[in-house]
Structure 1
Amino acid sequence: MSDGKTGLRERKKQLTYQAVSEAAISMFLERGFDKVSVAEVAAAADISKPTLFRYFPSKEDLVLHRFADHEDEAARVVSGRAEGLSPLEALRQHFLEGLDRRDPVTGLCDNPHVLAFHRLLYGTPSLVARLYAYQGRSEAALARALDPGTPVAARLAAGQIIAVLRILAMENWRRMDAGESAGQVHADAREAAGFAFTQLADGLLTVRSG
């Protein structure tokens, strides 16, 4: 098969992923995650239930598909950083830039649709549990980027970094959910991120810079 056909096939596959996931999330937001069956999602997307499961191994993956592009984001930031920039500094800059552009991944986003999605996510125990699996894969990818040999030091560093990113995002989301605006929280969020990355730098001095 030619590269053009392969690329077209992959794009069509990604569009299907997107369409099915968006249809499912819309139904979950309207009725609740536990009150919508996989069969109903398949019918709404005009595909069979077995076909749906070929795209999404579990019902939870229909929601967490939105995180798929972010699973190896920290690893990509480290691998693609500018020459002379440490992994931690690259990640710090990336997170601060995310805060400035109100990236939903940072938690600092008061868009009503994003808030509704986060309420669905964090208010559904099975989704929270599944999210930890995604974060585990993020840690593994980051550890490999920090050191391809993935020694214990790199794995410990990756675990701490991913945990810090999660805590910062959760704190921002908590304040958004309580009714504060992204503008009101922005300065505090940047200050908290600066403190967190300084704390990481003080504790991760033994990690190689790659």
Structure 2
Amino acid sequence: MMAGLRERKKEQTRQRIAETALRLFAERGYDAVTVNEIAEAAGVAKVTLFSYFPGKESLVLDQIKDDYAAVVRNRPEGVPPLAALREHCRGIARRSAQAPVETLLTRVQVIATSPALMSKVHQTDVTEREELVAALEAAMPDAGVVPRLMAAQIIAVITTLQETFFQRLFQGEPLENAGRLLEEEVEVAFDLLERGLTSTERAGS
């Protein structure tokens, strides 16, 4: 029981630090706020902050990272990589309908207005894609360039789904509706990935 209490307190501290940082970044801009100021405002020592977040950018970006390579590596036996990724994205879509809208939009706005964070997002995307390539290559040995092509398409599709979801929220779409549409579009996206574009083109001709 004591271990559980300690974990809850640690999570509460982590959450308080992250929320404080996001508030200060939104008020003054990412570049104008120092780690010392965040620690002081959150009521923790600087060393404590770094024990939860390894760098300033992680105060914002840790909440948006996703390990797609791990989804592929840890999928149940007999489940194809795309099926595992589809189920993972279904879960993300379901949880999105319960997320705090203001926090989501504030985080996106802070990232979008900071060249440093946008650069870090791009670097993270590249890293995630390369890790996914490696996971797919392990799942599909001797498949040549196919895993790399698949990873590029998967990351592009997921990024587009996320961007569309946030655009709807910024345009005033209620979270429940935006979440429902995201769930539907996850299915459309993975149908396209699994079946290819040709069948869709034929259906629309």
Distance between the aligned counterparts of 2:175 and 2:20, measured in 1?
A: 27
The alpha-carbon deviation at position 115 of structure 1 amounts to: 2.1
1:123 aligns with 2:116: no
- Report the CA distance shift for 1:134/1:16 in structure 2 as closer, same or farther (over 3 A): farther
Distance between the aligned counterparts of 2:187 and 2:62, measured in 1?
A: 30
1:93 aligns with 2:87: yes
3-state DSSP class of the match of 1:184?
helix
Q: 2:57 aligns with which of 54, 57, 60?
A: 60
The alpha-carbon deviation at position 173 of structure 1 amounts to: 0.7
Whichever residue aligns with residue 59 of structure 2, its letter is: L
1:82 aligns with 2:85: no
Distance between the aligned counterparts of 1:182 and 1:55, measured in 2?
A: 30
The alpha-carbon deviation at position 13 of structure 1 amounts to: 9.4
2:175 corresponds in structure 1 to: 182
Whichever residue aligns with residue 136 of structure 1, its letter is: V
2:31 corresponds in structure 1 to: 34
Distance between the aligned counterparts of 1:98 and 1:71, measured in 2?
A: 10
The alpha-carbon deviation at position 88 of structure 1 amounts to: 0.6
Distance between the aligned counterparts of 1:158 and 1:55, measured in 2?
A: 30
Can you list the C-alpha shifts for 1:44-72, whole angstroms capped at 9, x where unaligned? 46545x997798675433322324xx342
Specify every segment of 5 or more residues in structure 2 that has no aligned partner in the other structure, as ranges.
Answer: 1-8, 198-205
Specify every segment of 5 or more residues in structure 1 that has no aligned partner in the other structure, as ranges.
Answer: 1-11, 205-210
Q: TM-score, normalised by structure 2?
A: 0.72
3-state DSSP class of the match of 2:61?
helix
The alpha-carbon deviation at position 20 of structure 1 amounts to: 4.7
The alpha-carbon deviation at position 131 of structure 1 amounts to: 0.7
Whichever residue aligns with residue 135 of structure 1, its letter is: D
- Contact 1:110 1:176 survives alignment (8 Å): no
1:17-28 superposed matches below 5 A: 20-28=17-25
Q: TM-score, normalised by structure 1?
A: 0.70
2:161 corresponds in structure 1 to: 168
2:193 corresponds in structure 1 to: 200
- Report the CA distance shift for 1:102/1:21 in structure 2 as closer, same or farther (over 3 A): closer
Distance between the aligned counterparts of 1:115 and 1:24, measured in 2?
A: 15
3-state DSSP class of the match of 1:201?
helix
- Report the CA distance shift for 1:163/1:18 in structure 2 as closer, same or farther (over 3 A): same
The share of aligned pairs that are identical, in percent, is 36
1:8 corresponds in structure 2 to: none
